[in-house]
């Protein structure tokens, strides 16, 4: 395992993201705990020391399961990151209640890393209005009390919003977690965010290195220019190597859902990951092509699902929508999958309320996409 220095700590270059733990019967709230614990053990035994969870992951069960798994190890032998769920603005003002519950769920009395989660257009005013909501003040108080060792933030929003937050709180926070991968380098202006963090000397933690799986399983035709450069490297290695080439790179969080993914990722981090300039150029060209492919950039983060009054499995529907748009040769898949769902879970059940889109970090027009999907399905 590769490590990097953060203050006086040595953090593993690969972090364990507990956002896509294995689940039972496809139910995102029912974590398959024995398998998840086996994965945590494997990660720990192979040098991963950074574990990342959040209030909303798996309906709160990510915190509980990860907490139970890590409780079997000495507290100082791992670093645990958790986050304030600012993606739901009704949580502003409930900082204490949520923080105390998070400590309880995780079974710890401090967090090594704590993040103000998903700073974006939807909540930037709340985050910055410290007089009214007291967000920053509360976490500074917890840091003074030793209950937060390092304070940071995560951001999915646009660059302007990101900079507003950084300019206001850049002297207080120690790190930022951003969506970073070779597709978003230009598509979501991740490059400008990286440069702003580098200028301020803040550590960069990475989320969505594989963009929720969009950068995995790329077809051979698209992979051909990369294969010509490195015949043996697969799409996952290319994606991580891109990140390994960036100065000041911190822990890369990958939300792994099974042992095979975990083993493959850990094996890659056994050696230095880096690309030549030529390789970066070819990879960024692939990123541009993928960004312009048909469909919507859903990362299956599930932030939206608890906001849907119709209880639709939005990520699954968008996955089918993307599949349908991008692979006309497999046009039977979406109708077949929908055929197995009750009508009240179909895209046509969406009432267009927009609650989901308000919290989507990828700023996807979800009701628009579902309406289009329903139309394509003749519903």
Q: Of 303, 305, 335, nearest to 320 (Cα)? A: 335
Q: Of 161, 65, 148, nearest to 114 (Cα)? A: 148
Q: Of 214, 201, 151, 204, nearest to 180 (Cα)? A: 204
Q: Which residue has the tokens 């308000």?
A: 358
Distance between CA atoms of 1 and 266, rounded to whole angstroms? 7
Distance between CA atoms of 152 and 203, rounded to whole angstroms? 9
Nearer CB in complex with ligand SF4: 281/309: 309
| Minimum CB–partner distance for residue 374 and ligand SF4 (Å) | 10
Task: Identify the three-state secondary structure at position 59.
Answer: helix
Residue choice 194, 236, 364, 374 for contact with ligand SF4 (CB under 6 A): 364
Indicate the angle between helix axes 259-268 and 235-244, nearest 10 degrees: 50
| Minimum CB–partner distance for residue 336 and ligand SF4 (Å) | 21
Residue choice 351, 365, 375, 379 for contact with ligand SF4 (CB under 6 A): 351
Residue choice 158, 258, 306, 355 for contact with ligand SF4 (CB under 6 A): 355
Nearer CB in complex with ligand SF4: 83/150: 83
CB under 6 A: which stretch of 176-184, 198-206, 275-283, 359-367 binds ligand SF4?
A: 359-367
CB 374 within 8 A of CB 340: no
Range 289-348, binding ligand SF4 (CB under 6 A) = 298-304, 307-310, 312, 314-315, 318
Number of residues forming the site for ligand SF4 (CB under 6 A): 28
Distance between CA atoms of 299 and 319, rounded to whole angstroms? 9
| Minimum CB–partner distance for residue 358 and ligand SF4 (Å) | 9
Distance between CA atoms of 115 and 118, rounded to whole angstroms? 9
| Minimum CB–partner distance for residue 28 and ligand SF4 (Å) | 10
| Minimum CB–partner distance for residue 11 and ligand SF4 (Å) | 26
Q: Of 369, 328, 364, nearest to 347 (Cα)? A: 369
Residue choice 31, 204, 360, 374 for contact with ligand SF4 (CB under 6 A): 360
Range 33-52, binding ligand SF4 (CB under 6 A) = none
- Summarize as ranges the residues that interact with ligand SF4 (CB under 6 A): 298-304, 307-310, 312, 314-315, 318, 350-356, 360, 362, 364, 366-367, 370
């Amino acid at each position: 395992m590769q490590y990097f220095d953060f203050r006086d700590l040595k953090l593993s270059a690969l972090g364990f993201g507990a956002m896509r733990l294995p689940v039972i019967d496809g139910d995102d709230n029912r974590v398959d705990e024995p398998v998840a614990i086996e994965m945590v053990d494997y990660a720990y035994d192979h040098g991963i020391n950074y574990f990342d969870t959040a209030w909303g992951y798996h309906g709160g069960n990510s915190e509980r399961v990860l907490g139970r798994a890590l409780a079997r190890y000495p507290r100082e032998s791992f670093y645990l990151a958790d986050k304030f769920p600012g993606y739901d603005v009704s949580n502003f003002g409930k900082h204490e209640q949520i923080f105390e519950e998070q400590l309880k769920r995780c079974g710890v009395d401090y967090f090594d890393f704590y993040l103000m989660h998903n700073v974006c257009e939807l909540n930037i005013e709340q985050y910055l209005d410290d007089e009214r909501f007291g967000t920053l003040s509360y976490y500074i108080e917890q840091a003074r009390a030793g209950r937060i060792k390092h304070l940071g933030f995560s951001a999915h929003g646009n660059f302007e919003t990101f900079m507003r937050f950084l300019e206001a709180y850049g002297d207080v926070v120690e790190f930022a977690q951003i969506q970073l991968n070779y597709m978003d380098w230009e598509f979501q202006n991740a490059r400008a965010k990286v440069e702003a963090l580098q200028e301020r000397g803040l550590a960069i933690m990475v989320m969505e290195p594989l963009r929720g799986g969009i950068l995995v399983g790329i077809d051979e035709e698209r992979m051909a220019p990369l294969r010509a450069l490195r015949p043996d490297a697969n799409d996952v290695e290319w994606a991580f190597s891109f990140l390994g080439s960036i100065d000041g790179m911190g822990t890369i969080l990958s939300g792994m859902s099974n042992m095979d993914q975990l083993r493959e990722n850990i094996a890659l981090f056994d050696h230095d990951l880096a690309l030549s300039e030529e390789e970066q150029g070819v990879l960024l060209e692939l990123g541009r092509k993928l960004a312009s492919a048909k469909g919507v950039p859903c990362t299956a983060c599930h932030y939206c699902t608890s906001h849907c009054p119709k209880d639709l499995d939005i990520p699954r529907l968008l996955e089918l929508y993307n599949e349908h748009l991008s692979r006309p040769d497999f046009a039977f898949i979406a109708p077949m999958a929908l055929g197995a769902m009750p009508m009240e879970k179909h895209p046509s059940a969406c009432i267009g309320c927009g609650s989901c889109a308000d919290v989507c970090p990828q700023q996807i027009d979800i009701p628009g996409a579902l309406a289009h999907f329903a139309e394509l399905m003749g519903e």
